[in-house]
Amino acid sequence: MPKAQPILLSLALLASAAHATEPEFAKLNTSDAGVIDPGAVEVCVAYDFCEARKSFADDRHTVDRQRLTEHVMSVGLTAGVSAGLDVAAGLGYTRARDREANPAEASGITDLALSGRWRLAGTDAWAVALLPALLLPIGTEASDGNAGTTQGYTSAGISLLYQRALGPLPANLEAGYTIGMGSGAEEYEGTATVNLAIGWQAAPGVLPIVEANWSRDSFAGASSSAMALTVGVLFPTENAGRFQLGASPVVAGRNTDAGIACQFSWVREFSPRGVR
């Protein structure tokens, strides 16, 4: 049973819980530099569904696989610490079934995802941010009939983000690297990620987004890579809220599933003086 999917969904939840402003608005699977107000708290509730019926082999060609499905319900909290810093935490519950695995079922609490966003510099037209992340293995461990939902070790990552307002087409470029720490991470060498997102301010209440999301996992003597294209829409609402919809098919890769992930989330900010 693949362990990476619920982990990546938890991290994506944190990335999607950023403050939506103009021209600086959140993306789905790419981070942004929009730090929320000091003392404010933002809540993100998300549902993700993943399905795969094919895989990319070592030669990058697709092959058939038994059906894999995964459902994840998750909650993320982001707190504003200062004018240029906020911190976030995310936790979820996942239920997956992989007919190629034994055991075929996996269900339980996901690992705890912690992250920060430090806006290093910027203006209304551009911004640079540093985003540390930590994943703690508190998820459900494997047992009889349950493959478990934890990766089994702690991982830490760092990403550098550059954000640019190109008229009505705000763009975000993010690059990061994650390593494993402690017992259980001996075979894991690291994960490199690059995300590029472009938004379009089509109307005050409709914000289409297109993203390219690339990742490469390295293990002792093995590696896998995936390129996904994310297409989504943000629907800002009054009082600093928004709904988010998106789909992320994996369009190329090696030694990975050729699946699709669909996301629905709701975000709302609570200021020190009440709901905004």
The domains of the chain are located at: 4-275
User: Which range in 9-13, 93-97, 270-274 is most confidently predicted, on average pLDDT?
Assistant: 93-97
pLDDT digits (tens, 9 = 90+) for 28-77: 999 999 899 999 999 999 999 999 999 999 999 999 999 999 999 999 99
Residue 154: other Cβ atoms inside 10 A: 17
Is the model's pLDDT at 17 over the cut of 50? no
Say if residue 15's pLDDT is above 80: no
Q: Band the pLDDT of 274: cuts 50, 70, 90.
A: low
Q: Is the pLDDT of residue 119 over 70?
A: yes
pLDDT of residue 14: 44
- Reduced to 3 states, what is the DSSP secondary structure of residue 50? strand
Whether the link from the prior residue into 132 is cis, omega within 30° of 0, is no
Per-residue confidence at 169, pLDDT binned at 50, 70, 90? confident
Choose among 182, 186, 213: nearest CA to 197.
213
How far are the Cα atoms of 48, 70, 104, 202 from residue 142, in angstroms, in the given order?
22, 16, 11, 46
217 has pLDDT over 50: yes
Q: Which of 252, 250, 247, 253 is nearest to 265 (CA)?
A: 247
The residue among 201 and 99 whose pLDDT is bigger is: 99
Per-residue CA distances from 244 to 17, 46, 131, 140, 266 (Å): 10, 9, 22, 28, 6
Average pLDDT of the chain is: 89
- Please report the pLDDT score of residue 219 as a whole number: 95
Could you give the CA distance from residue 57 to residue 211 in angstroms, rounded to a whole number?
A: 24
Three-class SS state of 12 = helix
Instruction: Specify the pLDDT at position 205.
Output: 80
Distant-in-sequence, close-in-space partners of 39: CB < 8 Å, separation ≥ 6: 80, 271, 272
For residue 99, pLDDT beyond 70: yes
Summarize the confidence of residues 176-184 as an average pLDDT.
95
Give the model's confidence band at 161: pLDDT under 50 very low, under 70 low, under 90 confident, else very high: very high
- Residue that the structure tokens 């990620």 belong to: 193
The pTM of this model reads: 0.88
Q: Answer positive or negative: Cα dihedral of 121, 124, 126, 130.
A: positive
Residue 214, C-beta contacts closer than 8 angstroms, at least 6 positions apart:
193, 194, 195, 225, 226, 227, 228
Alpha carbons within 13 A on the beta-carbon side of 204? 3
Is the domain spanning 4-275 CATH 3.30.360.10? The answer is no
